[in-house]
Chains A and B, each alone.
Chain A
Amino acid sequence: MREIHVDDIVSVVERLFIDANISLPEAMYGAIRDAIEKESSPVGKEVLRELLRNADTAREEHMPICQDTGLAVTFLEIGQDAHVVGGDLTEAVTEGVRRAYRNGYLRKSCCHPFSRKNTGDNTPPIIHTKIVPGDGMKITVLPKGGGSENYGEVRMLMPAEGKEGVKAFVLEMVRKGGPNPCPPITVGVGIGGNFETSALLSKEALMVPVGTRNDDEELAAMERELLEEINATGIGPQGYGGTVTALDVHIKMAPCHLASLPVAVNIQCHAHRIGEALL
């Protein structure tokens, strides 16, 4: 048994959300640089160069990459031998988010669904927990903007639709989003489980590092095919036309019910902000 104090959780969550919003991960820098080489459209290339200049500016000026600093999506992998002390775990993450969005001058984008009244501090965060072996805690943050999240969907396909049905659904969502989710996008696809599992898998798929292929040969091939087909849509950077619409596609899959084929598509913008820390 190892003790983890809530004060440490508060400060780590605060730091992660500020850093993630300001500093584009190196892997995404690399992916955008590669995209400039691959892009055929001069306008598309210019947009991609703006994205690199923007990422540099954000770091230099210590400002968020995008004004939509998102809802505070937080994944906690909690070791089964860890013991949280000093207070309430959910409240600790919430306080970390509150401090990050206040002290980091991040935009508060959380509101009541009907009145649209802002909650004022970007809470509550969206917390997903998983119990894992060990005595530590891994915290991963994924500030997620509204523009890209709006083009996500869960659909219960007919099992007979199979792999081709899944691919058609993904392409339909990418075309539907067009310029709106800020391409070049990253596409997370969750297949199987049930209704809510597929959605969570699609979000977890977004956290797979860019350029990484699935361990499963069949899914790896599907990711490659989907990436090629998405880039053949012509949508391009910002939707202005071009050959780089997505930087990557990641799939996560789980067994499902005999009668079902749940599929979720979650889209991420080019400002794919992510950070993690181990406690």
Chain B
Amino acid sequence: MTTDLRRITTPLTDDVTGSLTAGEKVLLSGFIHTARDAAHKRFIETLDAGGDLPFDIRGQIIYYCGPAPAPPGKVIGSCGPTTSSRMDVYAPRLIAMGLRGMIGKGKRSEGVKGALREFRAVYFGATGGAGALLARAVVAADVIAYEDLGPEAVVRLEVRDMPLFVINDVHGNDLYLEGIERYRK
């Protein structure tokens, strides 16, 4: 199946985000940044204090992930997604600043979904609990900020053919709502 899938690369352009449809499986290549609870809290505190984020967020994708430590000889440990809803309070502000994609698992708030439509950004799902498989797609990993946060540090990942599903597209479609609707008995 993987060979026939559409491939996309970072940074994401409006043309690419606009052409993705909820329910579609894609393979992502390029650079993405991990950030979860504590890193997001620090992003917002930094912005409130008038500072800059540790990386240029425009056109970028944030992956809600706190990887397991890399075993010897490996680039990264198991690295599946964490539940995205905990980042819902922070995400709209980052989307408004140019963030074009988020990777996680679980439903987003109406506020986030509205921001996706308004700023043409996309929410992708990585398969939760498939951390070993997702680690295979990571070819390089470098901690670029907040090393003191341990598994919650910001890591720049270079990924090749990372398997993702489009959950919320720029047109307002939502795989969670449509999928349940279709299969509910």
Task: List residues of chain A with CB under 8 Å of any chain B CB.
Answer: 40-41, 43-44, 46-47, 50-51, 53-55, 57-58, 61-69, 105-109, 116, 118, 120, 145, 147, 150, 178-180, 182, 232-236, 238-243, 269-271
Q: Is B80 a contact partner of A67 (Cβ separation < 8 A)? A: yes
B135 / chain A contacts, CB cutoff of 8 Å? 57, 61, 63
A55 nearest CB neighbor, chain B only: B132
Q: Does B96 contact A (CB under 8 A)?
A: no
Min Cβ gap B128→A in Å is 4
A269 / chain B contacts, CB cutoff of 8 Å? 128-129
Q: Mark B126-138, 1 if CB is under 8 A from A, else 0.
A: 0111111111100
A235 to B80, CA, bound (A): 20
Q: Is A54 a contact partner of B131 (Cβ separation < 8 A)? A: yes
Among candidates B65, B71, B129, B184, residue contacting A54 with C-beta atoms closer than 8 Å: B129
B175 nearest CB neighbor, chain A only: A240
Q: Is B80 a contact partner of A66 (Cβ separation < 8 A)? A: yes
A67 to B74, CA, bound (A): 14
Q: Is A240 a contact partner of B23 (Cβ separation < 8 A)? A: yes
B1, B70, B83, B130 pick with most chain A CB within 10 angstroms: B130
Min Cβ gap B105→A in Å is 6
B85 nearest CB neighbor, chain A only: A180
**Contact A240 to B77, CB < 8 A, known contacts A54-B129, A180-B83, A270-B129:** no
A68 to B165, CA, bound (A): 21
Q: Which 7 A-B pairs have the closest CB atoms?
A: A241-B179, A234-B184, A234-B183, A58-B132, A54-B133, A54-B130, A232-B185
A43, A64, A67, A238 pick with most chain B CB within 10 angstroms: A67
Q: Does B101 contact A (CB under 8 A)?
A: no
